[in-house]
């Protein structure tokens, strides 16, 4: 298991120089839960043990691959904020991360991705057949944790969110290769695929103790807004970050036939020939006839990058507004900083 510290794994390298001070503040705030976040890692490692050797190998590969672990971190911060002192938050943190990991391995199959976080993707190493089965196994492992805990409210929440996530995947897959997707439809896909799991991670702490119930809706709204900002910033980075920062080629979404926020905002301002170039890239699912620089120049010319930046900031501001309604505490300060991080990270 990767023992890289939270400080080394998270944040500072993902922020532009002007935001490094806020990054340091967030790293310091996350030190509040660093011990429990390591417990989540250990829980994940223990839960990926199996008599089937391949499951253990892929499980180790995923856990060792690290990642920001932002969803379990949000859950742990919420539990701390509400004064929870048990260990169920650790197990639920592993559950949430298993669901997130399952979506990633399934996405990589759908997208025919070759890398994930700068390493060969699971499907590249083990093939699509084993990878899709391992993703299914992760979903059921998450359900096993929820069943072991025996809280019907958490089970219902988990069921509703995973169903919505799958529906979002289907909506996205139906529109792959199409330049006709509008902003309302796209935002619905973002909500289902990404934002709701953030929201669930933030709401679960309110279900762990009776006094937390009054804060459940606020935590949910915070998580949904934060998750939306996080995904929209991902979209923006695909058009503004370097390949080195991203750990994958720029314009990766477009190479996979997916329209995301900057291009959706740019299309109405494009000329017919410019829209034709977009259609060529989506049809070819690559840059054989059109160069990435051509597309980037068009998107920048339309002002779509600035408009996308504004939307990211608006959603991050909504998250901060919701966090401000929670009880004053060190954990609330960390949630406020998380909203800033979501809008300013570079990877």
pLDDT per residue over 92-118, tens digit each?
999 999 999 999 999 999 888 888 877
Distance CA 145, CA 175 (A): 34
Higher per-residue confidence, 304 vs 17: 304
Q: What is the pTM of this model?
A: 0.92
- Give the range among 5-19, 76-90, 145-159, 206-220 with minimum mean pLDDT: 5-19
- List domains and CATH numbers for the chain: 6-344 (1.10.600.10)
Q: What is the mean pLDDT of residues 313-339?
A: 96
Distance CA 40, CA 166 (A): 25
Q: What is the mean pLDDT of residues 45-56?
A: 95
Question: Which pLDDT belongs to residue 328?
Answer: 95
- Per-residue pLDDT at 5 exceeds 90: no
Contact partners, residue 72, CB within 8 Å, separation at least 6: 37, 40, 93, 94, 96, 97, 201
- Give the range among 29-33, 72-76, 211-215, 337-341 with minimum mean pLDDT: 29-33
Q: What is the mean pLDDT of residues 205-228?
A: 97
Question: Which pLDDT belongs to residue 7?
Answer: 43
Band of residue 177 on the pLDDT scale cut at 50, 70, 90: confident
**What are the two backbone dihedrals, phi and then psi, of residue 325, each rounded to the nearest 5 degrees?**
-85, -5
Band of residue 244 on the pLDDT scale cut at 50, 70, 90: confident
In angstroms, what CA-CA distances link 133 with 61, 97, 120, 140? Answer: 15, 17, 18, 11
- Per-residue pLDDT at 3 exceeds 80: no
DSSP state of 2: -
Q: At 33, list the tokens.
A: 């839960």
Question: Which pLDDT belongs to residue 211?
Answer: 94
């Amino acid at each position: 298991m990767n023992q890289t510290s939270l400080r080394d794994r998270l944040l500072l390298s993902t922020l532009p120089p002007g935001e490094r001070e806020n990054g340091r503040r967030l790293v310091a705030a996350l030190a509040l839960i660093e011990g429990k976040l390591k417990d989540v890692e250990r829980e994940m490692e223990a839960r990926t043990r199996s008599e089937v050797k391949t499951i253990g190998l892929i499980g180790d590969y995923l856990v060792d691959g690290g990642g920001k672990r932002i969803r379990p971190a949000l859950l742990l911060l919420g539990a701390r904020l509400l004064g929870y002192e048990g260990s169920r938050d650790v197990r639920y943190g592993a559950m949430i991360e298993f669901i997130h990991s399952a979506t990633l391995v399934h996405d990589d199959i759908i997208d025919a991705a070759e890398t994930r976080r700068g390493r060969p993707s699971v499907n590249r190493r083990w093939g699509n057949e084993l990878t899709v089965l391992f993703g299914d196994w992760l979903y059921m492992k998450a359900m096993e944790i929820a069943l072991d805990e025996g809280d019907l409210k958490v089970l219902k929440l988990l069921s509703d969110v995973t169903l919505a996530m799958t529906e979002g995947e289907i909506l996205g897959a139906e529109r792959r290769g199409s330049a006709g997707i509008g902003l309302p439809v796209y935002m619905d896909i973002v909500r289902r695929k990404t934002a709701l799991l953030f929201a669930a991670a933030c709401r679960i702490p309110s279900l762990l103790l009776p006094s937390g119930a009054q804060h459940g809706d606020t935590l949910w709204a915070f998580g949904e807004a934060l998750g939306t900002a996080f995904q929209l910033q991902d979209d923006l980075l695909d058009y503004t970050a370097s390949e080195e920062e991203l750990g994958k080629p720029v314009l990766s979404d477009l190479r996979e036939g997916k329209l995301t926020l900057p291009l959706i905002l740019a299309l109405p301002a494009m000329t017919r020939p410019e829209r034709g170039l977009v259609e060529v890239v989506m049809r070819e699912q690559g840059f054989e006839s059109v160069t990435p620089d051509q597309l980037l120049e068009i998107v920048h010319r339309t002002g779509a990058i600035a408009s996308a930046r504004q939307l990211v900031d608006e959603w991050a501001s909504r998250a901060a507004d919701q966090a401000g309604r929670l009880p004053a505490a060190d954990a609330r300060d960390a949630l406020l900083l998380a909203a800033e991080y979501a809008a300013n990270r570079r990877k």
